[in-house]
């Protein structure tokens, strides 16, 4: 759709990147950079501004605690361009339903607009700076 798009994908687990290369031909996608790094550290240290940031962070069926930290959310806002969009995939399974409401409130406190959509066991937040 966007042949000139520049995309950076970050994963803490090098094996996941290797699986992506092997089974999804990620190496053949022009403009795609695959980076092995801790997402929290990557965001906190990032200087570049992004038009779109996608957060899809799970360890099994668990969301790392830093995803809900105000410092991390403010860092995400910092790396977004003026018209940037943040898309967050958040768990919506039983134990995360209440937490997702708390998360929504945090997002609404930091960002100008948040739209959320629930699909099965996921809750997606579309966020505007």
Q: Report the pLDDT value the prediction gives residue 86, as an integer from 0 to 100.
A: 98
CA distance 25 to 84: 28
Contacts of 11 (CB under 8 A, 6+ apart): 17, 34, 35, 36, 37, 39
pLDDT along the chain (129 residues), means of 10: 87 95 94 95 95 91 92 98 96 90 97 96 96
Q: How large is the C-alpha radius of gyration of the chain? A: 15
Domains of the chain are: 1-37 (no CATH), 50-128 (3.40.50.150)
Contact between 86 and 111 under an 8 Å Cβ cutoff? The reply is: yes
Task: Note the pLDDT of residue 1.
Answer: 63
The reply to whether 56 belongs to the active site is yes
CB-CB neighbours of 7 under 10 Å? 15
**pLDDT at residue 49, rounded to an integer:** 96
Q: Which of 11, 38, 51, 56 is catalytic?
A: 56
**DSSP secondary structure string for all residues of 31-59:** TEEEEES-HHHHHHH--S-EEEEEE---B
The per-residue pLDDT for 105 is 98
- pTM value? 0.89
């Amino acid at each position: 759709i966007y042949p000139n798009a520049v995309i950076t994908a970050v994963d803490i687990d090098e094996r996941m990147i290797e699986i992506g290369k092997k089974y999804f031909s990620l190496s053949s996608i022009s403009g795609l950079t695959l980076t092995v790094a801790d997402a929290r550290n990557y965001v906190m240290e990032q200087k570049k501004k992004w038009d779109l940031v996608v957060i899809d962070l799970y360890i099994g069926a668990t969301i790392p605690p830093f995803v809900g930290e105000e410092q991390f959310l403010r860092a995400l806002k910092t790396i977004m361009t003026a018209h940037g969009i943040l898309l967050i995939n958040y768990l919506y399974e039983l134990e995360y339903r209440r937490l997702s409401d708390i998360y929504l409130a945090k997002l609404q406190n930091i960002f100008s607009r948040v739209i959320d959509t629930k699909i099965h066991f996921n809750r997606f937040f579309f966020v505007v700076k």
